[in-house]
Amino acid sequence: MGGAPVARRLAELSRRELIRRRDEARIAGEVEYEFRHALVREAAYGMLTERDRRVGHALAGDWLERAGGADAMALAEHFEIGGAPAQAAEAYLRAAEEALRGGDLAAAIARADRGIGCGAAGDTAGRLRRVQAEAHVWRGDLFLAVERGTEAIERIERGSIAWFSAITQVVLATSKLGQLDELERWTTVAASAVPTTDAQSARLVCLANGAAMLTVVGRYVEGRALIEAVERAFEDTHARDVAATAQLHEARSYYAICTGNLVAGADRMEAASRAYEQAGDRRNACSTRANLGVAYTELGDFERAESMLREAHQESDRMHLHELKLSSGANLAQVLACRGKLAEGRAFAEAAASASRQAGAVRTELFARCYLAKICVALGDLEAAEDEARASVARSQSAPTLGVQAYAVLARALLGLGRVDEAVRTATEASSMLESFGTLEEGESLVRLTVAEALAASGRQHEANAAIASARAALLARADKLSDPTWRERFLRDVPDNARTLELARQWLGG
C-alpha cells in the first residue's frame, strides 16, 4: 500500500477519534500516531491472529531497530513476541544496562533474566549475568553476586571490558563475604590478563578495587603492589579515565587510612568522591561519602562524621543500595556512641548486625556487632557486650584487621564482669595480632589501651606502665603523621581512646 492511501486511512481513523497524531515523535523525523483509548488498542490487538501478531511484532522490531532511537525494552518485547530470540536477548541486554546506569537495580536484574529466558548464549549471556552481578553487589545479595559474576567470567571474552567488570563484582562480593582466598585469587587472575584494546580502563578499575579490598583485610603488601601497578599504568597512558582515576584515589585512601595516615586518607577519599560525581556515578559517590564519615570518626570530627553517615544511610536507602545502607548504619552507630547517643547507636548497630547476618555480609556483621558490644559496655550491659563481642570475634577470620578490635572489646567486657585473668589473655591476644599487622584501619588505640588497663587490673602495674608508655608512643607517632595541627589536636583530644591513653600515661608515668 502506497504512502497516500495510508495517509488517507490514518486521517479517517483520526477523524473518527480512534487514533491521534502525537505532538512529539519519539523517533526524530517521523510522524507518529497512537490509539486514543486503551480499550480500542486492546480490541484491535485482540482481532489479530497469533501468526499476524508474531509477524507484526517482528516487522515492528526490524523497522524500529533500523530507525534507531527506539526504547530498548519495547524493541526487546517486539523481538521476543516476533520469534527473534537472539535479537530479543541483545535488546534486553541494552535495556538491562540502561536500568543499571539509571539506578533501577531490580529492573536491571529482571530485564537480564528475560534476556536469559530468550535463550541468550555465549558473550550475550555473560554480559547479562555481569549486569546482574553488579546489581546484586549493590543490593547486598552477595552470594548471588558471586554466582552471577562467575558465570559471566566464564562466558565473556577474556580481557574485555565486560570481563574485567565481572571480576570487579566478584572481588567486591567475596571481600564482603569474607572469602579472602577467593578475593586474592580473582585479583591475581585480573592482574595476569592482557586487556583488549579498549579495556585498559576497565582493567585499572578492577585492579584498583582489588587493591582496596586486599588492603582493608590486612594484606597491605599485596594492596600496595597493586596500587603501584595501577599508578605505573597511569603513567604510560595519555588518556585519563574518570572512573579509573576515582577508583585509584579510593584505593590510595584505604591504604593511607590502614597505615595510619588519616588526613591523607580523608583527602584522597574526597578526591574519589569528586571524581565519581564528575563521572555521574551516584552509587560510588554515596559510598565514598560514607567512607569519609568513617575517616572523620577516626579523626575525632564526630559532628561532620554523623552528618555524612546519616546522609549516606538515607541516600543508600532511597537508591535501594542495601549493603551500603547496612554498613553506613553500623558506622553511624559508632559515631552516635562517641557523641553520647547510646540508645540510638544501639538501635542502628542491632539493625545492621541482624540484617548483615541474613545477607551473609560477614565483614559488616563483624564490625556492627563489635560496635554494638562497645555500646553495651558503655551502657553497663556487660553480658550483652560479651555475647556480641564473642560473635564478632567468631567472624574475625573473614575480616582479620577488624577482628583485632573485636578481641579488645571482648577484653573490656570481661574486665567489667570481673574476669580479669581472662581479660588479660584476650587483650594480649589482640596485641599480638596488632603487632602482626603493624597498623589497623581502626581500633589501634583501643587495643593498646585495653592491654594496659587489663594488666593494671590484674595488679601487674609495672607491666601496665610499660604498656601505657608503648601505647602513648604509638599514638603520638600516628599523630605526627597529621601535618595540620588542628587535626592533630582534635585527634588526641576528642577521640575517647586517645584521650584516655594520654590521661593514663600522665597518671601512671607522671610528666
Pairing of strands 33-35, 19-21: antiparallel
* Locus of grid cell 502525537: 22
Nearest 5°: CA angle at 294, between 331 and 169?
Answer: 80
Mean pLDDT of 193-211: 94
49's grid cell: 491472529
**Helix residue ranges per DSSP H, 16-104:** 38-46, 50-67, 72-81, 85-101
The H-or-E segment that residue 34 falls in is: strand 33-35
pTM: 0.86
66 pLDDT tier (thresholds 50, 70, 90) = low
Q: What is the pLDDT of residue 260?
A: 86
The residue among 207, 237, 233, 236 whose CA lies nearest residue 222 is 207
303's grid cell: 559532628
d(CA 501, CA 435): 18
39 pLDDT tier (thresholds 50, 70, 90) = confident
8 pLDDT tier (thresholds 50, 70, 90) = confident
**pLDDT tens-digit map of 235-269:** 776 556 888 999 999 999 999 999 889 999 999 99
Q: Report which of residues 232 and 75 the model is more confident about.
A: 232
**pLDDT tens-digit map of 75-102:** 777 677 767 888 889 889 999 999 999 9
Amino acid at 159: G
Q: What is the pLDDT of residue 9?
A: 72
80's grid cell: 521476543
**Mean per-residue pLDDT over the chain, rounded:** 89
| Domain boundaries defined on the chain | 1-46, 48-119
Q: For every residue of 283-338, which 3-state class applies, written as one string?
A: HHHHHHHHHHHHHHHHHCCHHHHHHHHHHHHHHHHHCCCHHHHHHHHHHHHHHHHH
72 pLDDT tier (thresholds 50, 70, 90) = confident
